[in-house]
Structure 1
Amino acid sequence: MRKKRVERTIAQDHSKVCFKPCGIERKLLERVVLDEDEMEAIRLSDFEGLYQQECADRMGISRTTFSRMIERAHRKIADALLHRKALSIAKEVYQGEQNGIK
């Protein structure tokens, strides 16, 4: 059985943000989706310059979870930049939320 997902604190909604390489129509590009919690991890760690423990505390998660999340986010961003893919930020929808359960 899967462990219950810890509710994460997200300070801003970035779900309407998308980046793409210049000169290529978006419909022709592969897309990489950055989850909203991964975007928040990028904001806190890379933009705000906070240490991982402080980022984790602000998001209400463990430092090891934060570490895995920031690593995933960096890999996705690198993939989009290096392989000329569109990058978009999306809110995660979980099985329970789809059925009206939170």
Structure 2
Amino acid sequence: MPRPKKGRRICGSAAHHCFKPNGVPLSKLKKISILPEELEALRLADYLNMSQQQAAEQMAISRQTFGNIVNQARYKVAASLIEGGALLFDDKEQNL
């Protein structure tokens, strides 16, 4: 049985529900979901240029957990750009 997921503090959200290449219908693209916690990690680390420790404190998680989350998010963004996929911003989780 997996360990229960600890809540994360998420303050930002996406401006739109997806980001995709122009001129290609969404139905023809590979879809890659970005979780709210992954988008928040990108916002804090790359947009606001926070250190991993500062960002982890902001999200109320450990620095190692933050590092894992931001690495997953960066991989998904890179895969989307390289493979020409669509990033879908998942809003199923509740903001804390």
Using the size of structure 2 for normalisation, the TM-score is 0.89
1:52-63 mapped onto 2 (5 Å cutoff) = 52-63=52-63
% same residue: 32
Contact conserved, 1:14 with 1:90, CA < 8 A, in 2?
no
Q: Which has the larger radius of gyration?
A: 1
Give the match for residue 89 of structure 2. 89
Structure 2 runs not aligned, ≥5 long: none
Give the match for residue 97 of structure 1. none
Paired amino acid for 1:10: I
1:15 CA displacement: 7.9
RMSD: 1.4
Contact conserved, 2:39 with 2:73, CA < 8 A, in 1?
yes
Q: Distance in 2 between matches of 1:2 and 1:92?
A: 20
Question: Are 1:3 and 2:42 an aligned pair?
Answer: no
How many equivalent residue pairs? 93
Contact conserved, 1:34 with 1:87, CA < 8 A, in 2?
yes
1:2-81 mapped onto 2 (5 Å cutoff) = 2-14=2-14, 16-81=16-81
Contact conserved, 1:35 with 1:90, CA < 8 A, in 2?
yes
1:87 aligned counterpart, secondary structure: strand
Structure 1's consecutive aligned runs of 4 or more residues displaced over 4 angstroms after TM superposition are none
Structure 1 runs not aligned, ≥5 long: 94-102
Contact conserved, 1:79 with 1:85, CA < 8 A, in 2?
yes
Using the size of structure 1 for normalisation, the TM-score is 0.84
Distance verdict in 2 for CA 1:15–1:92, change over 3 Å: farther
Select between 42-51 and 14-23 the one with higher mean Cα deviation: 14-23
